[in-house]
Structure 1
Amino acid sequence: MADVTGSAAISTTGDTGDPAPPGISGTGRIRQPAALIRLLAGLAATALALLSADYARATTNGLAEDVAAAAALVPHPLGGVATGLTTAALLLLPGFSAAHRLLRAPADRRHVLQQLADGVLAAVLAYGVSLAVDLWIDGHAPFSLVSALTQPLPGDPLARTEPVYGYLAPVLAFLTASAARERRVPWTVLTLSALAGLAAGAATPTALLLGVLIGWTAAHGTRWAVGTPDPRPRPTLLLHSLREAGLRPVSAVPAGPDRYLVRQQDGRPELDVRLLDRQAVTAALVQRAWRRLRLRTAPHPRALCSLRNGLEHEALVSYAAVAAGVRTRRIAATAEPCPDTALVAYERLPGRTLDELADEELTDALLADAWGQLALLQRRAIAHRALAPSALLVDGAGAVHLVNLADGDIAAGELVLRSDVAQLLTTLALRTGAERSVRAAVAVLGPDAVAAALPLLQPIALTPGTRHALKRAARDAQAAQATAAAPPAPDLLEQIRAEVLRSRPQAPVRPVRLERLRPRTLLAVGGGAVAGWLLLSQFFAADRNPIAAVADADPFWLSLALLTAAASHVMGAMGFVGFVPERLNFRNAVLAQVAGSFVKLVSPGGVGGVALNTRFLQRAGIPTAQALSSIGVGQLLGLVLHLLQVGAFIYLTGAETGDSERDALPFVVGGLAVAGALLAAVSAIAPARRWLAARLRPLTAEVLPRLVELLRNPGRLAVGFAGQLMVSIALIACLYCCALAVGQHPAFAAVGLVFLVGNAAGNAAPTPGGAGFVDTALVTGLAATSMEYGGAVATVTLFRLLTLVLPVLPGWAAFSWLQRRGAL
């Protein structure tokens, strides 16, 4: 967070008497992460409410009918009077809130006026959004959504209620954006207004919900767009709070973002004061929640539930460290100067952090002292979690103090404690080298304790700053090696492992799996959910029941489709072994392709197939580099053949209409023009040129030499080309037979073009087997070839059943058989 208080010291003198009533800074604006998070949550909730109203029509209409039936029991004149009174109260509420706040806080009138201006802007925005939603629903929305959000007005069946109820959204936006502290009266008025609207039949429950969501979202959108007045306390308020806590502060000088250096009277020790505010808590909450979801060693997010919880947690860890005998900063006081800010005041420790020391100052005694302090924490099961260079403070006498314990934890588990050892090993090795860091650790902790940390010595277990430092060290080492023409040296983590293994050769080196959830897995789950939604929408939107069409499929064409689907695995094995110069067992290669049908169901795109083929080649005795090169050759030539097939089917599709040249020429010319433009753009931009060179380096260094080796065996290369070509033809024939089986009669060339384009586009999606995206692309393409939509859905359903679902069980059996035989 940027510091806006300036660098001048704020001082007060005397032991008695408080300064003038202090306030908050109000000298700048900041964008709070909490506002962005709530804006995104509000947009998602609004979209979900509209989707629910449209798709869950029975539930929504049933709820509206029940409310309307209950409202009919209320006399119409009484409902009208209640609606008028509550609407008037609702319109007067912003003025009442503004006057109340200005009268209660005359010292902070400027700050309050800024907040009220934000509230007015948010109210205008909410009213505009409500009006736009009303106009869209009245003129362009589907009737199902109109009926869910509106209902006939009592006494006038031709008129309907508003989709977004009344002035609910702008008033709520004003109160939220202006940070009104009074809750009881505003929420009472809002609730009565909503109930009166329901009782008078002037609103539906969905319209009320939409009004609340629009108002809340507009308020936080405004707060994010224009920022909010800085809620941090003035130094005068900070000094006042410290005096109330029993200290004797004289002056406060900013010492960094959210930090102050406070001098006291009578020679008392100076204080390091750290501020905790809601925006810092919210920003850390998202990061901590993601780490908690992803990593087994992540801290519990309980310390971030509120400012008070965070304050109490930091104080608890600090007191526990002091009780364990660890040298650290002692807490002098804690306080909450204002509702949005808390502070922790530490007794100042003069000294320098580890990254500020010169290399010659990093003696063996200093390293041993650092490990000794960590050993004290380990004995009491206290985890530091952030042993970066800034957490090791060295005083004038050369003693090490462990600071920055805010992320720590008490009663920590064994895995987290071992992670602290791995972190300190890396932090010290970055400055002193692996040998000295490990030697000092073994001398203090013992070889067994250090060896136990080896499985945690992996980048994901380290702090972000340490990971960046490792990358910088690796780049510097590579540059030095390139200058000296020396052979590449192992990275720092490998050097640390080697040093530890010298003292304990039997130490476990296999990394512990720390990830609960990988980002790729989360992406696949999200993609799978989207895929399921797309499939269901296709089934429900079809003009013809696809399940019934599949059940009534012609047996002859269905048998041919099954045969071509099975043949595609044999063709795939030919295309696989043809690009491997070494001799392979063809039967096992076919079974590996069948096993790929099982693997791709649990992995996105072609990732699973590449990994399985690589493992197959490794188990066949082929080195990893050569195995990857062979797969790279197959993929490169497969891409070339795919593009040639697309061009051929474009030509054939045009030939069937008698206008092949005119239909094919725009695609060819357009493709060449786009490729040329992209190549020219990449060549003109230096970062893009370097990025492309880095991506092409494996091609020139590994794939092309492997291709040259394959050219010495033209027979095997021909088998590879034939397999790559025929696997596409087999799948196109399967899709074509599926179309004939359900009573459709498309052109073979059109089916081939749809498959090649749709399968390539859909497989780029991060879903298992391209589920959902491949299906949508194929259905859309087939429907564009004069095939009816219901028939296209039935064709694709049958095709995916034969090529994606049916091979799963044989694929699992082949996968298990190959594993038992040691082929995988």
Structure 2
Amino acid sequence: MRVDGREVAVSGSLLQPLTRRTNDILRLTLAAIFLVVVVTSSLITRYEWEALEESISEIVGVLSPAQSNTVYLIYGVAILALPFVIFIGLILARQWKLLGAYAAAGVIAILSLSITGNGIAAPQWHFDLSERLDTVLSQFLDDPRWIAMLAAVLTVSGPWLPARWRRWWWALLLAFVPIHLVVSAVVPARSLLGLAVGWFVGALVVLVVGTPALEVPLDDAVRAMARRGFRASALTVVRPAGRGPMVLTATRERAGEALDPHEATAVVELYGPHQRGVGFLRQFWRKVRLRDDETAPLQTSMRRTVEHRALMAIAVGELTLANTSPIAVSSLERGWTLYAHEPSRGTSIDECTDDIPVSRVWDSLGILHSQQISHGDLRSREITVVDGTPIFGGFGQAEYGASETHLHSDIAQLLLTTTDLYGAEAAVRGAIAVFGNETVLAASRRLTKAAVPARVRTSVGDAAAALSTARDEVKRQTGADQIKTATITRFTRKQLVQMVLLVALVYVAYPFIGSVPVFFSELQSANWWWALAGLAVSALTYVGAAAALWACADGVVSFASLTVMQVANTFAATTTPAGVGGLALSARFLQKGGLGALRATTAVALQQSVQVITHLTLLVIFSAAAGASADLSRFVPSATILYLIAGVALGAIGVFLFVPKLRHWLGTAVRPRLKEVVDDLVELAREPKRLALIILGCAATTLGAALALWASVEAFGGHATFVTVTIVTMVGGTLASAAPTPGGVGAVEAALIGGLAAFGVPAGIAVPSVLLYRILTCWLPVFLGWPIMRWLTEKDMV
């Protein structure tokens, strides 16, 4: 390569790997949004759009007919020649690989707008100039397929074209909007559709084909370094641009004098135009995900990001703690950015832990923090040792005038790194010697997976073990009882779970809201004493469930707190399909109450097992008690359905037995849990008092719900027996556990209303009775369960 009259040798491959770059993804996303907006607006506001176009054209339509015709002819010729000019330009630039993508984008764009209900309608373009020229041109200007083809080929060829050409050609294409307003009074909606389709097709082709081999302005980079006194004589590609920058090594030109090997070379990092987008998106995502005191101000351009890194290297270099110094920072042609710096000095800290005590590493960080500078990336690879002093490199995450949060984050990161290198005891002792007990204890709150950046965690062998060991060692050396985890995210995991549950609650409550007016009109004739009795009886279900779970947990947790938790459990179970949220909440409550994770899960599984057995036993007993007075056949599925269910069950069992991975999962994950539950049931059978309490609690849950439904029926003047209502309630409860909707909404109401009708309860009584029953046993506890669950969370009970 020849630069300003001198030869610069270049070795290595400049061909960038085929990647799906951020700009390509953003382009396709924006094109898809634009296409949706155009299609939607044309369908919804078609007549208003045309009226707006006509009113605008009356304002801007100031040209005479002769002038309009001249403008139309000039623009038409330019639009007609545009694709051929692009085609010739690509040939002259020898972009052979691009020609295939160019042709594919044009053909796809034309075909996508040529599909009709009768097949593909081929374009009827002709170049017969025997007719009027404006007539020939109008077939292209007003045809959306031509506009789509132009937009597609411009999008595809854009990444390879000079920025000036690209801007002028897009301006020429988009000029059809004002041209149409001035000349033909309206902008055809189909032309805007063609523009949207063409842009989308072109963006899709670019994403599929990729944009490799973008021209790298190496000559401009050599000139930028020369202006800073580094005259490069050779460049060697170390890593082509991909997920990170293109990295090269530059060798300084020797003018007869002998140069130090360190001064004779430089590391050159070239950031491509696509990395501006990914860098900003990464910063923006951190800004959205983390709190303001965790994130630095947004750097809206790659140049500002690189400048910040170079300036931090200079600031740390003033303290003689930087293992590198910048040579040049510059914006290059075609959107590239240069950052050239000296190679890192010293030996990596992980190679000299036997010679350098951990206290020296903490001393270096203490000097950095004394000047209110945070590093932000304290991996072992960013710490080197020169003449026995640990110094730092990187500085991509460094901050000058750092907040206390950033300084604590540094201490937590170095605690993790030095724990991995020197052991927890030496690491914590060195940190306390420099920063003191209080500071280290406050910083140790950030020894969590969420607070320590992933790049630091992946640099150590076993991050989870190192974090836990470091926290325990901090507690031991500072005498702290516990270390409360620092909240660094805007939304904690608990808040996200609560938000999901709240959205699910709105979703499941929507069908109920529609029937509220009818229900309230029926309440005027209700007997409120029966309704209050149903409310009081429904409370038995929570006491029964709490008693059963309390006995399953061997009485370790508080019975009163467990009863209150059952109300929150109703909220969690109702807002999640199949009640899995309630099971998870029960297990979590038992864990916080002192049970281990395995024992808590087993207790919940045991309670559910006894609940199912009790439920089925009561169903058999009450069905037998109903006898011939009730037609129970309508609750039994047809033989075809039963055979289908049996076939699916047998097929599932066969699949699990014959597929090795599923069989292994059954043997290693399911079988031990089932064995624990069976063993607990056997052990439970040997304790009659405990077994009786669990069975009574489970029976109270089922019978309490039945009593609440019976009281609701009586409140509206119905006369169903308790036995029949109990059968209906248990069938409805079974459907609630099987229905895919949260809380069985819809399925439970339909089953209860149909069941009451089967036993002779009129629909005018069954419908409001079921709605009242669901309010007493479902919706009131759900709305009370939300604040109760928040209270339990604040008390650290769940």
TM-score category, normalised to shorter length: 0.7 to 0.9
710-719 or 319-328: bigger deviation: 710-719
Which whole-Å CA distance do the structure 2 matches of 1:276 and 1:810 have between them?
56
Equivalent residue number for residue 380 of structure 2:
389
TM-score, normalised on structure 1? 0.72
Listed as ranges, the matches of 1:579-594 within 5 Å are 579-581=549-551, 582-583=554-555, 589-594=562-567
| Corresponding residue for residue 144 of structure 1 | none
Whole-angstrom CA distance in 2 between matches of 1:364 and 1:602: 59
Classify the secondary structure of the residue corresponding to 1:302: coil
CA distance in 1, matches of 2:593, 2:325: 62
Deviation, structure 1 residue 378: 1.1
**CA deviation after TM superposition for structure 1 residue 229, in Å:** 2.0
2:561 pairs with 1:578 = no
**One-letter amino acid of the counterpart of residue 651, structure 2:** A
Corresponding residue of 2:84: 95
Residue in 2 aligned with 1:711? 685
Residue 345 (1) aligns with residue 345 (2): no
Give the alignment partner of residue 121 of structure 1, picking from 96, 104, 108: 104
Task: Give the equivalent residue in structure 2 for 1:510.
Answer: 484
Partner of 1:317: 312
**CA distance in structure 2 between the partners assigned to 1:509 and 1:420 by the alignment:** 18
Q: 1:261 Cα deviation (Å)? A: 1.9
Structure with larger Rg = 2
CA–CA separation in structure 2 for the residues paired with 1:184 and 1:215? 17
Q: Is 1:460–2:442 an aligned residue pair?
A: no
Aligned length: 731
Q: Say whether the 8 Å CA contact 2:8–2:235 is kept in structure 1.
A: no
Q: Which residue, 335, 338, 346 being the options, matches 2:330?
A: 335
SS of the residue aligned with 1:29? coil
Q: Give me the identity figure in percent.
A: 24
* Matched residue, 1:666: 644
- Alignment partner for residue 51 of structure 2, among 61, 66, 81? 66
Q: 1:756 to 1:457 in 2, by over 3 A?
A: same
Q: SS in structure 1 opposite 2:643? A: helix
Q: Could you tell me how far 1:414 is from its partner in structure 2?
A: 0.6
Post-superposition offset of 1:382:
2.0
Return the offset for 1:251: 1.6
Q: Determine if the alignment matches structure 1 residue 497 to structure 2 residue 445.
A: no
In structure 2, do the counterparts of structure 1 residues 472 and 64 end up closer, same or farther at CA, with 3 Å as the change threshold? same
Instruction: State the shift of 1:255 in Å.
Output: 3.0
Q: Secondary structure of 1:308's match?
A: helix
Pairing 1:677–2:672 present = no
TM-score (norm 2): 0.74
Return the alpha-carbon distance in structure 2 between the equivalents of residues 175 and 512 of structure 1. Answer: 51
Q: Which amino acid aligns with 1:429?
A: T
CA contact (8 A) 1:550 1:794 kept: yes
Work out which of the residue numbers 249, 263, 280 in structure 1 matches 2:251.
263
Partner of 2:762: none
- Report the counterpart of residue 632 of structure 1 in structure 2: 605
Counterpart residue number, 1:375: 366
Alignment partner, residue 147 of structure 1: none
Equivalent residue letter for 2:155: T
Instruction: Report the counterpart of residue 192 of structure 1 in structure 2.
Output: 175
Aligned residue number for residue 94 of structure 2: 110
What is the rounded CA distance, in whole Å, between the counterparts of 2:359 and 2:771 in structure 1?
Answer: 67
Is the contact between residue 392 and residue 400 of structure 1 (CA under 8 Å) also seen in structure 2? yes
SS of residue paired to 1:667: helix
Instruction: Check the 8 A contact 2:578/2:738 in 1, yes or no.
Output: no
Aligned equivalents of 1:163, 1:647: Cα separation in 2: 76
Please list, as runs of the form range in 1=range in 2, the aligned pairs for 1:773-812 lying within 5 A after superposition: 775=745, 805-808=779-782, 810-811=784-785
Q: Deviations over 1:677-710 (max 9, x none)?
A: 14532xx13xx66666664487268655544443
Aligned-partner residue type, residue 412 of structure 1: A
1:622–1:460: structure 2 CA closer, same or farther, 3 Å change rule?
closer
Give the whole-Å Cα distance in 2 for the aligned partners of 1:170 and 1:176: 10
| CA distance in structure 2 between the aligned counterparts of 1:349 and 1:752, rounded to whole angstroms | 73
Q: 1:608 to 1:185 in 2, by over 3 A?
A: same
Task: Specify whether residues 35 and 761 from structure 1 end up closer, same or farther in structure 2 by C-alpha distance, changes over 3 A only.
Answer: farther
The Cα offsets for residues 738-758 of structure 1, whole Å up to 9 and x where unpaired, read as: 99999xxxx999998787556
Residue in 1 aligned with 2:295? 299
What is the aligned partner in structure 2 of residue 252 from structure 1?
Answer: 235
Q: 2:21 aligns with which of 11, 32, 53?
A: 32
Q: Tell me, yes or no, if the aligned pair for 1:599 and 1:609 is still in contact at 8 Å.
A: yes
User: How far apart, CA to CA, are the structure 2 residues paired with 1:437 and 1:335?
Assistant: 40
Would the alpha carbon gap of residues 201 and 16 (structure 1) be closer, same or farther in structure 2, given more than 3 Å must change?
closer
How far apart, in 2, do the equivalents of 1:533 and 1:364 lie?
A: 64
- Tell me which residue corresponds to 2:427: 437
The DSSP-based 3-state class of the residue aligned with 1:674 is helix
Corresponding residue for residue 363 of structure 1: 354
TM-superposed deviation, 1:383: 2.0
Cα 1:440–1:572, aligned 2, differ >3 Å: closer, same or farther? same
Q: SS at the partner of 1:329? A: coil
- Contact 1:576/1:720 (8 A) holds in 2: no
Partner residue, 1:655: 633
Aligned residues of 2:384 and 2:392 also touching (Cα < 8 A): yes
Say if 2:411 is the partner of 1:421: yes
Residue 375 of structure 1 aligns to a residue whose secondary structure is helix
Separation in 1 of the partners of 2:204 and 2:422?
Answer: 49
Alpha carbons of structure 1 residues 369 and 309: separation in structure 2 relative to 1, 3 Å: same
- Partners of 2:496 and 2:617 in 1: CA distance: 35
Note the aligned Cα RMSD (angstroms). 5.5
Give the equivalent residue in structure 1 for 2:157.
178
How far the C-alpha of 1:573 sits from its partner, in A, is: 3.9
CA distance in structure 2 between the aligned counterparts of 1:170 and 1:793, rounded to whole angstroms: 61
Match of 1:150 in 2: none
Q: Give the Cα separation in 1 of the matches to 2:74 and 2:711.
A: 70
Aligned to 2:132: none
Q: 1:725 Cα deviation (Å)?
A: 7.1
* Correspondence list, 1:607-756, <5 A: 609-610=582-583, 613-614=586-587, 617=590, 626-635=599-608, 655-656=633-634, 660-681=638-659, 684-685=660-661, 695-696=669-670, 699=673, 706-714=680-688, 716-717=690-691, 720=694, 756=734
Q: Whole-Å Cα distance in 1 between the matches of residues 151 and 695 of structure 2?
A: 67
Asked whether the 8 Å contact 1:24–1:234 carries over to 2, the reply is: no
SS of corresponding position for 1:378: helix
Q: CA deviation at 1:430?
A: 0.8
Tell me, in whole angstroms, the C-alpha distance in 2 between the residues paired with 1:551 and 1:626.
Answer: 46
Gaps of 5+ in 1: 1-10, 139-161, 475-490, 764-769
After superposition, what is the alpha-carbon deviation per residue over 1:265-289, rounded to whole angstroms, capped at 9, x for unaligned?
A: 2324311122222334434444443
Question: Residues 677, 85 of structure 1: CA spacing in aligned structure 2 closer, same or farther, 3 A cutoff?
Answer: farther
Whether contact under 8 Å (2:377, 2:394) holds in the other structure is yes
| 2:721 aligned partner | none
Name the aligned partner's letter for residue 672 of structure 1.
L
Contact 2:9 2:233 (8 Å CA) reproduced: no
Unaligned runs of 5+ in 2: 121-140, 241-245, 623-629, 717-723, 759-764
- Determine the C-alpha separation between the residues in 1 that align with 2:488 and 2:48: 47
Q: Is the 8 A contact 2:144 2:195 kept in 1?
A: no
Q: CA 1:332/1:73 → structure 2, altered by over 3 Å: closer, same or farther?
A: closer
Question: 1:648, 1:666 → 2: CA distance?
Answer: 27
Check 1:729–1:501 CA distance in 2 against 1; reply closer, same or farther (3 A cut).
closer
2:200 to 213, 217, 229: 217
Match of 1:412 in 2: 402
Deviations along 1:593-652, whole A, 9 cap, x unmatched? 224345668999857645654565578776776444322323455678899999999xx9
Deviation of the 1:656 alpha carbon: 1.9
Partner of 1:17: 6
CA distance in structure 2 between the aligned counterparts of 1:204 and 1:646, rounded to whole angstroms: 69
- How far has the Cα of 1:47 moved from its partner? 5.1
